[in-house]
Amino acid sequence: MTEALARLFEIAPAPSEPRQKDWGEAERRLGVELPADYKDLIHTYGGSNWDDYLYVLEPGCPNENYDLIEWAAHQAEDLEGLWEIEREPAELELEGARVIPWATTDNGECLYWLVRPGLEPDRWTVMVNEARGDRWEHFSVSCTQFLASSLDGALQSSILSSLFPRAAHEFRRLGVV
């Protein structure tokens, strides 16, 4: 267990039933192996909502609105169109670099893994893109570290809502709509 996942346990006790995933199928569909900390996060918490604001995406999420595979396909398509009219963030200028969404918010911000050629998934970092805008932030942490550090106030984004995190944390596992 990572230190970040242990911190999440302190913030919100884990549900009693872990989620089982066919990671091979999800990774085949995405075309990449996913970070171990993300797999542990999903196994423990599943697709989830934190402080009634941030939604962690899950492959095959019971709430299809937060399915990682679908989000990845749509975001890749949307970003290709966006790069035709806006400049890519500097982090994506490296040949073969791309982003894959792992979370979203009520306001429409999207949180991505920064995937770079030759970089192991466990070394991917986080990028945050504002909703309907061209501002990006880069954080040199894993997705689980980003979530835990955002919730405990150690990390702050100027893009995410100033109301996040809440003083009293709320967690809920995403189910069928």
Is domain 3-173 classified as CATH 3.40.1580.10?
A: yes
**Centroid of chain to Cα 23:** 16
Alpha-carbon span 170 to 94, nearest angstrom: 38
Could you read off the pLDDT of 44-84 as tens digits, one per residue? 999 999 999 999 999 999 999 999 999 999 988 888 877 77
What is the SS3 assignment for 170? coil
Residue-level pLDDT, tens digit, the chain, 177 residues = 789 999 999 999 888 888 889 999 999 999 999 999 999 999 999 999 999 999 999 999 999 999 999 999 998 888 887 777 888 899 998 999 999 999 999 999 999 999 999 999 999 999 999 988 889 999 999 999 999 999 999 999 999 999 999 999 999 999 865
